[in-house]
Amino acid sequence: MSETTPAPPAPKDRILIALDVERLDEADALLERLAGEITGCKIGTQLFTAAGPVAIERALKRGVRVFLDLKYHDIPNTVAGAVREATRLGVFMLNVHASGGSAMLKAAAEAATTAARDFAVPRPIVLGVTVLTSLDRRALATELGVPGTVEAHVLRLAEQARAAGLHGCVASPREIALLRNALGRDWVIVTPGIRPFRPAGAEGAPRAGSGDDQMRTATPAAAIAAGADYLVVGRPITAAPDPSLAARAILADLQAAGRV
C-alpha cells in the first residue's frame, strides 16, 4: 500500500454512531450506553457548535475514534487552517466540500499530511462531500447551473477530489456501487442513510413508521455489499429504546451477511 492508502476498516470499526445531540452530557450518555459496542462516532455541526472541541476530547478519552463532519468550504488557506486544527485534535476522519475547487481540495489534503507530521498524530482520512442528498437533478440544473444527472456530478466531483489528493468521499447508498466501480478499492466510501430493516418492495423509501426523513436508504449489509467502507448510523441506534441492543443487531446483520 502507498503512503496515502488508508487501511481497510476492521469489522466493528465500520459503524460510526452519529452524535446528533444538543449537549455534551447527551453525547456522553450515548457513548456510555454504547461502550463496548461501537469504536467510532461522528461529530457534526450541531454538537460541535454547541460544545466545541471538548466533544471530540471526551470521545477520544473513551477510546472512540472521531469523524469530524464539519464540511469545510472556504478559500484554500482557510480550509487548510481548519484541517490543521482538526488534525491537531486527533480526529481520524474529516470532510470538506468537493465543490470547493481543486486548489482548496489540494490544500486540505496537504494540510492533513503536514499537520499530522507536525503534531505527531496519524494523518486523518480527508473526505470530499460531493452532492448533498437534499439536492436533486432539478435543483442542480436550475439553482446551481449544473446540467446532467446527480450521479454524473457526484462522480465528477469524486474524481476531482481524488486527483487533488483526497482519500475518499461521502456517498448516499444510491451512489456507492458507481463510485466503487469507477474509483476502485483504494478510495474510502462513507455512507449515511442506513436503516436496519426494509420491507420487500420498499426500495428507496423510508421504513413504514420509521418517522424520519431519509429517502435513500440501505440496510447495513446492502451498503457494505455495494462497496461502502464506513456506515454512519444515527437514529436507528440513538433513538432506539435500547441503543446498545440496536448496535449489536446491526453488527449481527453484517456478520450474518458474511460481510465482516
Nearer to ligand C5P, 97 or 167 (CB): 97
* DSSP annotation of 100: G
Check if 42 is active-site.
Answer: no
Distance between CA atoms of residues 130 and 138, nearest Å:
16
CA–CA separation, 219 vs 221, rounded Å? 5
Half-sphere exposure for 193 (CA within 13 Å, toward CB):
25
| Min CB(232)–ligand C5P separation in Å | 4
| Alpha carbon distance 97, 110 (integer Å) | 15
- In the range 199-218, which residues lie near ligand C5P by CB under 6 A? 212, 214
Quote the cell numbers at residue 119.
503534531
* Stretch 21-60: interaction string toward ligand C5P, x if CB under 6 A: -----------------------x----------------
Q: How far apart are CA 222 and CA 103, in angstroms?
A: 35
User: Which one of the spans 4-12, 24-32, 140-148, 232-240 is the region binding ligand C5P (CB under 6 A)?
Assistant: 232-240
- Residue 172 in the binding site for ligand C5P (CB under 6 A): yes
188, 6 Cβ separation under 8 angstroms = yes
Number of residue whose CB is nearest ligand C5P:
234
The least distance separating ligand C5P from the CB of residue 97, rounded to whole angstroms, comes to 12
Asked whether position 9 contacts ligand C5P by CB under 6 A, the answer is no
**Which single residue is written with the C-alpha cell 454547541?**
50
Nearest approach, Cβ of 242 to ligand C5P (angstroms)? 16
Query: Which is nearer to ligand C5P, 80 or 155 (by Cβ)?
Result: 155
The answer to whether residues 16 and 189 touch, using CB atoms and an 8 Å cutoff, is no
233 interacts with ligand C5P by CB under 6 A: yes
In the region spanning residues 131 to 160, those forming contacts with ligand C5P, defined by CB under 6 A, are 132-133
Percentages of the chain per state (helix, strand, coil), in multiples of 5: 45, 15, 40
Asked if 196 is part of the footprint of ligand C5P (rule: CB under 6 A), the reply reads no
95 forms part of the interface with ligand C5P (CB under 6 A)? no
Q: Give yes or no for residue 232 binding ligand C5P (CB under 6 A).
A: yes
Output the smallest distance, CB 216 to ligand C5P, in A: 8
Position 236, amino acid: P
Catalytic residue among 12, 42, 71, 106: 71
Alpha helices in the chain (DSSP H): 24-33, 45-51, 54-61, 76-89, 102-119, 137-142, 150-163, 176-183, 220-226, 235-238, 243-256
Residues with a known catalytic role? 71
Residues forming contacts to ligand C5P in the complex (CB under 6 A) are 18, 20, 44, 132-133, 170, 172, 192-194, 212, 214, 232-236
